[in-house]
Structure 1
Amino acid sequence: MPENIQQKIEDLRTELHQHNYDYYILDEAAISDFEFDLKLKELQELEKNHPELYDPNSPTLRVGGEITKNFPTIQHQFRMYSLDNSYDFDDLEDWEKRIIKTIDEPVEFVAELKYDGASISILYENGKLRQGVTRGDGFQGDEITANVKTISDIPLTLHGDFPTQFFMRGEIYLTRKNFNKINLRREEEGLDLFMNPRNTASGSLKMQDSAEVRKRGLSAVLYQFISSEIPAETHWELLQNSRKWGFKVSDQAKLCRNLDEIKDFITYWDEHRHELPFEIDGIVLKVNSIKQQSQLGYTAKSPRWAMAYKFKAEKVETELLTVAYQVGRTGAITPVANLRPVLLAGTIVKRASLHNEDIIKKLGLHEHDFVYVEKGGEIIPKIVGINEEKRKVDSREVEYITHCPECGTELVRIEDQAIHFCPNDLHCPPQVVGRMIHYVSRKALDIEGLGAETIEQLYREKLVENPADFYVLTKEQLLPLERMAEKSAQNILDGVEKSKKIPFEKVLFGIGIKHVGETVAKKLAKNFDSIESLQNATAEELIQVEDIGGKIAESIVEFFQNPENLLMIERLKSYGVQLERGENPNETLSDILQDKTFLFTGKLSLFTREAAEEMVEKHGGKNISAVSKNLNYLVVGEKAGSKLKKAQDIRTIIILDEQEFLTLIAAE
């Protein structure tokens, strides 16, 4: 290989790392996004042609694409403690008194914003990112290195004079803008909206496909240097050094010399937090001196030298105008309070969640009550109380509706869940539209061009009433629709045609049998080779399938007893939709593992977990999900944890390594 190729790759990596640092840390772009993308594509092509020059910290890995089936559990070398919370200045004064009493000398503090996200610990060795681990229980967490590398705020390589090995702790979060983008996409796909940025960020970190993590647009802030040897005398100095090394450190952090400065900092951000592009739920305070931190030490749960001041949830009073009732895809009825617009937490609030009939009764809600509204990290604020002193004498109590607001069908209440729902699933408009949106969604038939708005338009124009109608749409029917061009119409028709090749298990998920999610659909497709065999199965036969209980079995039987569902199935079949398994998907190679159960744990190196489980099934065995007396073999990879310990206590379980497993199935 020519030396100039290797040099070219190394130069591009260095240049792109520098551009990332300039853009994300210094907020100074030296080149345009277009120029950056050209250089990145050039590097990707060179790396593709020269895999022997692989670098785990190449800028190209920001794009993602690595699939992680399981996240290994990693012990934290340095425990990730939680912080004690305070909610008023009296708590802070008591905390300061305890500190001064212990060390008996002047104290400085660093005040930082408390980002509302997911904690992370990142190991750096020789200036390279080596490992990212979630907080977990503080003692151990999940390794999510591939996903961490997709976050542009987190450097893959460092600059300057940094220690050989250390950990950086920080918070991974979503900006309000990116959170809203995600929910907009989910709304277009007919999916439930995420409730808040914090939970969405946390959930994103555990997605198996790092390319999907990249699309979420996560951000990060690093706030704590951890090592057995600290190369500075103060936390403030460490923050400044971290910024020089390439870490994104909060611009709002402040060095405070006394409690009055801390109070001013807290008061300011309590009033101005909604001006930030991300959410915070308080302020973190730390003793600045590393020596003093060491003197103060830790309690069983928290450092004595740090404290979290939590902001109180904001609450306002406004008038209830009306109560509206929304019908979801599954027929569930959600009551929503329409309010006189009021400013709350930096936004104008017009609606508040009421959840269900029980909440309305518990509040004792009356028409035109003056209510207290709180926004506690959710999209839609909630009513937390009523100002009864302002209630009119003749006001009537809010009565929950008895019939569906969309189709007039009498509602049914699920007592143990406190939920009302409309049973008219085949003819109630929101349910009909929701069912079709579900059918075309990415995890089901994945039909390009058919978003929620388009389907609603098609339904209004009486062009579609169930998923089978998509397969008889014509370009002449589509073109008159609003915002529909020739290319858009053709994309829809092409997407519909392409969906005929989607495998049986995804079609089963897409047709919308109640309680049949992705996992259950896969189990059904493995055990029933066609829609006919599933249709003819009894509830008793269905319950024999792993993970299927009585509730799911009854729902499946009920689905196939409905003539309209049967007609839809017949139509889908006639249009060429895959309603039976592909050729020999579960063809067995032998019965050597007949009646034997297997479970895989730890990090597998010779094969993926999915491939291993497939090998078990192809040789007549069965995969189960937990260690119990029903388990015959536990196959362990690297860093096997609690499952291995539990299996060792059950003498009947045979423990194999990966090579022994391969030998077992080859012993035919």
Structure 2
Amino acid sequence: MSKASKIEGELASLRERLEDWNYRYYVLDDPSVPDAEYDRSMRRLVELETAHPELLRADSPSQRVGAEPLSQFSQVRHELPMLSLDNAFSEEELRDFNRRVLERLKLEPDTALEFACEPKLDGIAVSLLYRDGVLERGATRGDGTTGEDITHNVRTVQSVPLRLRGSGYPPLLEVRGEIYMTKQGFETLNARARERGDKGFVNPRNAAAGTLRQLDARLTAQRPLQMCCYSVGLFEGGTLPERHSDILDLLHGWGLRINPESRVVNGVEACDTYYSELAQKRDGLPYDIDGIVYKVNDLALQKKLGFVSRAPRWAIARKFPAQEEMTRLLAVEFQVGRTGAITPVARLEPVFVGGVTVSNATLHNADEIERLGVRVGDTVVVRRAGDVIPQVVSVVADRRPEGAAEVAFPERCPVCGSAVEREPDEAVLRCMGGLVCAAQQKAAIRHFASRKAMDVDGLGDKLIEQLVDRGLVDNAAGLYALGRDDLVGLERMGEKSADNLLAALEQSKETTLERFIYALGIREVGEATARNLAHHFGSWEALAAAPEDKLLEVADVGPVVADHLRQFFDNADLMAVVGQLRERGVHWRDIEVVPQQELPLAGQTWVVTGSLEALGRSEAKAHLQALGAKVAGSVSSKTTRVVAGPGAGSKLGKARELDIEVIDEATLLEVLREHGIVP
């Protein structure tokens, strides 16, 4: 045998051996050799590949160390959308889901369907594309349609096989799953950060997300990420098993990790039992979970049930309840927002709740403080559910210490010293400093540059703080007057970062009328109202000149919003900022105005009831009005449709009594998207 053949044979043997050890360690949790033996084999592999670079393969175990840093992430369009799941927050809502499934399948109400149950990992959804068994691409979920190419990062995750094991896999296979960080891995990562004097991450999910967004994969390789698969997306060639659970077993056989807590059960009662059992085990699991996913196990039934626009009808996620803890209120400070609203913020003795360490919580306003009866020094109950801002929900009265001080609201703005006022019928105290107030300047610029407004990539909070504090910018128009010399030298702002920001500002100049209206931050004008205004008037000039009675003709604009709009348009300083923005190149196309009677839902009356997760009732109402529908507050024989979310009460009962069509939020989203509205 030639020397070259011997080297190729040794390389093949080393790669096979190392991948087998990786599989046993990271996928099966069953290490078969000591670390020292693994390290010796890896060193030998790297030594041979370094000496013979022509024999290096992309799927070699040595290539998990990370490639050269990227300058940016490229976009990936998912050929099959990565849909989200509807949520259930109670046993009743889970049973409602089961009932809807049985009704759609025309099965008897007591039928015990087979469900695949899986822990809902608190991580980052990803897509892995394998071609002929070799990892070709990794991508984030993104918005479900378009994600980011993170191939260079997922290649470093040890539980992601670079080449599938065994045989029988199709020529093209897309695997979907969750990348997460274990609790132990998170603690180790943060301990190292503290040793370096860094702040660290707030929870394992944020750590995983931050790690996957590293442009330098060599940093990703140093962090303890895991991947657990939960489904198949694109699949070309071959056939899939007929049950979801069997598909997971097949993936596991090809070298992919699946969750060991997964289970197949029969009937909704068994689903509830599984929920209770996993809730008890939750704190002891080595990773964070925020609920359980239930899927109809039979793929033929899944196909019958189908999808709504953003979610499958055959799956639901039952979330764990909001988590609460007790802690002590150390102080109350006051923050000034974009519209001058002064918000009391509780400074707390740090407490771990809802998966994070909480040291601040909102107290909302003076009325809420009075309702709670809270004083500085009190022991309070803090609630945090999912990504919701922590809030103080109650006071533990029998633990109040002597000398607990009442909360005193400021008599002047804590930032600029201007007068403060509380308008009649409002709970909010406001700074009257307007554009003189640095806090309002910063908040207004932050809102203007946000993703749903002008979408200025790279303009973060710390940079905005510096720009305002140094007097470089005092309103949104000032952003477009910035030059390279203004930016270079700011903290964490080198020449390349400055050029990137200037390019992002230039790109943001081309926008839409509705985005521009929303970006201005006019009080009470959210995205949906901005869209209604844009489509009703068609141009900025027509909108700005509209008297109050014409503004009131716009769907979702009442007297309060109309008054805020007119105050904005009548303010010479604010309109001067708008003029500067346009002079500096911000532009959009005017919109062709469609008469009200020609709108797709004209003549229809809708009612929205219950809680809506994705939209919120006010936003849903605004979207429906933009399509020409009248949105009523009560159900009658004239009602066309009722949108019912969780907690819907008498209105839902009335709709059923009158045999009026009732739809859920997912179906509403489908209707909106059919008519060009993408919430």
Q: Could you say which TM-score interval applies, normalised by the shorter chain?
A: 0.5 to 0.7
> CA 1:356–1:547 in 2, change beyond 3 Å: closer, same or farther?
farther
**Cα distance in structure 2, aligned partners of 1:136 and 1:357:** 33
* 1:386 aligned onto 2:324: no
Structure 1 residue 256: deviation in Å?
Answer: 0.9
Letter in 2 for 1:192: K
* 1:123 aligned onto 2:123: no
What is the match of residue 73 of structure 2?
71
What is the match of residue 244 of structure 1?
253
Structure 1 residue 287: deviation in Å?
Answer: 0.5
Structure 1 residue 391: deviation in Å?
Answer: 8.0
What is the match of residue 144 of structure 1?
150
What is the match of residue 658 of structure 2?
none
Please point out which of 535, 545, 564 is paired with 2:483.
Answer: 545
What is the match of residue 224 of structure 1?
231
Q: Map Cα deviations across residues 370-412 of structure 1 (whole Å, 9 max, x no partner).
A: 411224468x99452223765869743145999xxxxxxx998
**Cα distance in structure 2, aligned partners of 1:8 and 1:363:** 72
What is the match of residue 406 of structure 1?
none
What is the match of residue 624 of structure 1?
503
What is the match of residue 91 of structure 2?
89
Please point out which of 260, 276, 279 is paired with 2:269.
Answer: 260
Other structure's SS at 1:80 match:
coil
What is the match of residue 18 of structure 2?
16
> CA 1:187–1:291 in 2, change beyond 3 Å: closer, same or farther?
same
Q: Map Cα deviations across residues 9-55 of structure 1 (whole Å, 9 max, x no partner).
A: 11111111111011112222221111111111111121112121221
Contact 1:356 1:418 in 2 (8 A): no
**Cα distance in structure 2, aligned partners of 1:58 and 1:311:** 41
Structure 1 residue 86: deviation in Å?
Answer: 1.0
What is the match of residue 313 of structure 2?
304
* 1:292 aligned onto 2:230: no
Letter in 2 for 1:265: Y
Please point out which of 108, 117, 130 is paired with 2:114.
Answer: 108
Please point out which of 128, 131, 139 is paired with 1:133.
Answer: 139
> CA 1:88–1:43 in 2, change beyond 3 Å: closer, same or farther?
same
> CA 1:273–1:545 in 2, change beyond 3 Å: closer, same or farther?
same
**Cα distance in structure 1, aligned partners of 2:125 and 2:485:** 33
* 1:338 aligned onto 2:349: yes
* 1:354 aligned onto 2:360: yes
Letter in 2 for 1:183: N
Contact 1:64 1:210 in 2 (8 A): yes
Alignment of structure 1 residues 376-415 onto 2, 5 Å: 376=385, 382-387=390-395, 390=398, 395-398=404-407
Structure 1 residue 234: deviation in Å?
Answer: 0.2
Other structure's SS at 2:72 match:
coil
What is the match of residue 423 of structure 1?
none
RMSD of aligned residue pairs (Cα, Å): 4.3
**Cα distance in structure 2, aligned partners of 1:629 and 1:173:** 33
Please report the TM-score for the alignment, with normalisation by the length of structure 2. Answer: 0.57
Contact 1:63 1:211 in 2 (8 A): yes
Letter in 2 for 1:515: Q
* 1:42 aligned onto 2:53: no
**Cα distance in structure 1, aligned partners of 2:508 and 2:349:** 55
What is the match of residue 167 of structure 1?
174
**Cα distance in structure 2, aligned partners of 1:372 and 1:81:** 35
Other structure's SS at 1:60 match:
helix
What is the match of residue 597 of structure 2?
none
> CA 1:302–1:544 in 2, change beyond 3 Å: closer, same or farther?
closer
Alignment of structure 1 residues 175-194 onto 2, 5 Å: 175-194=182-201
Contact 2:383 2:393 in 1 (8 A): no
> CA 1:137–1:630 in 2, change beyond 3 Å: closer, same or farther?
closer
Please point out which of 310, 314, 321 is paired with 2:323.
Answer: 314
Other structure's SS at 1:515 match:
helix
Structure 1 residue 187: deviation in Å?
Answer: 2.9
Structure 2 residues without counterparts, runs of 5 or longer: 334-343, 418-435, 442-462, 471-477, 511-587, 590-679
> CA 1:395–1:513 in 2, change beyond 3 Å: closer, same or farther?
closer
* 1:198 aligned onto 2:149: no
Structure 1 residue 415: deviation in Å?
Answer: 5.9
Alignment of structure 1 residues 262-281 onto 2, 5 Å: 262-281=271-290
What is the match of residue 428 of structure 1?
none
Q: Map Cα deviations across residues 83-116 of structure 1 (whole Å, 9 max, x no partner).
A: 1111111111121112112223552101100001
What is the match of residue 244 of structure 2?
235
> CA 1:133–1:386 in 2, change beyond 3 Å: closer, same or farther?
same
Contact 2:382 2:394 in 1 (8 A): no
Q: Number of aligned residue pairs: give it.
A: 437
> CA 1:75–1:344 in 2, change beyond 3 Å: closer, same or farther?
closer
Structure 1 residue 547: deviation in Å?
Answer: 7.8
> CA 1:81–1:263 in 2, change beyond 3 Å: closer, same or farther?
same
> CA 1:184–1:417 in 2, change beyond 3 Å: closer, same or farther?
farther
**Cα distance in structure 1, aligned partners of 2:207 and 2:301:** 37
Structure 1 residue 323: deviation in Å?
Answer: 4.2
Letter in 1 for 2:189: I
**Cα distance in structure 2, aligned partners of 1:373 and 1:547:** 46
Q: Map Cα deviations across residues 164-189 of structure 1 (whole Å, 9 max, x no partner).
A: 22111000111122222232333333
* 1:515 aligned onto 2:517: no
Structure 1 residue 56: deviation in Å?
Answer: 1.0
Deviant stretches of 4+, over 4 Å: 321-325, 343-347, 355-362, 375-378, 380-383, 388-395, 398-402, 410-419, 625-631
**Cα distance in structure 1, aligned partners of 2:198 and 2:290:** 28
Structure 1 residue 335: deviation in Å?
Answer: 6.6
Contact 1:151 1:214 in 2 (8 A): yes
**Cα distance in structure 2, aligned partners of 1:221 and 1:391:** 45
**Cα distance in structure 1, aligned partners of 2:226 and 2:507:** 41
Structure 1 residue 194: deviation in Å?
Answer: 2.1
**Cα distance in structure 2, aligned partners of 1:335 and 1:90:** 35
Other structure's SS at 1:216 match:
coil
Letter in 2 for 1:59: P
Structure 1 residue 2: deviation in Å?
Answer: 1.5
**Cα distance in structure 1, aligned partners of 2:366 and 2:34:** 54
> CA 1:544–1:135 in 2, change beyond 3 Å: closer, same or farther?
closer
What is the match of residue 609 of structure 2?
none
Contact 1:71 1:143 in 2 (8 A): yes
Contact 1:172 1:201 in 2 (8 A): yes
Contact 2:321 2:385 in 1 (8 A): no
**Cα distance in structure 1, aligned partners of 2:329 and 2:310:** 47
Contact 1:274 1:345 in 2 (8 A): no
> CA 1:55–1:401 in 2, change beyond 3 Å: closer, same or farther?
farther
What is the match of residue 567 of structure 1?
none
Alignment of structure 1 residues 445-460 onto 2, 5 Å: none
Contact 1:352 1:383 in 2 (8 A): no
**Cα distance in structure 2, aligned partners of 1:311 and 1:629:** 40
**Cα distance in structure 2, aligned partners of 1:291 and 1:514:** 55
Contact 1:345 1:375 in 2 (8 A): yes
Structure 1 residues without counterparts, runs of 5 or longer: 326-332, 403-409, 420-511, 521-539, 557-580, 587-609, 632-648, 651-668
Letter in 1 for 2:382: V
**Cα distance in structure 1, aligned partners of 2:27 and 2:406:** 56
**Cα distance in structure 2, aligned partners of 1:223 and 1:269:** 17
Other structure's SS at 1:2 match:
helix
What is the match of residue 505 of structure 1?
none
**Cα distance in structure 1, aligned partners of 2:36 and 2:260:** 28
**Cα distance in structure 2, aligned partners of 1:236 and 1:33:** 33
Please report the TM-score for the alignment, with normalisation by the length of structure 1. Answer: 0.57
**Cα distance in structure 2, aligned partners of 1:75 and 1:184:** 37
Structure 1 residue 286: deviation in Å?
Answer: 0.3
Contact 1:353 1:382 in 2 (8 A): no
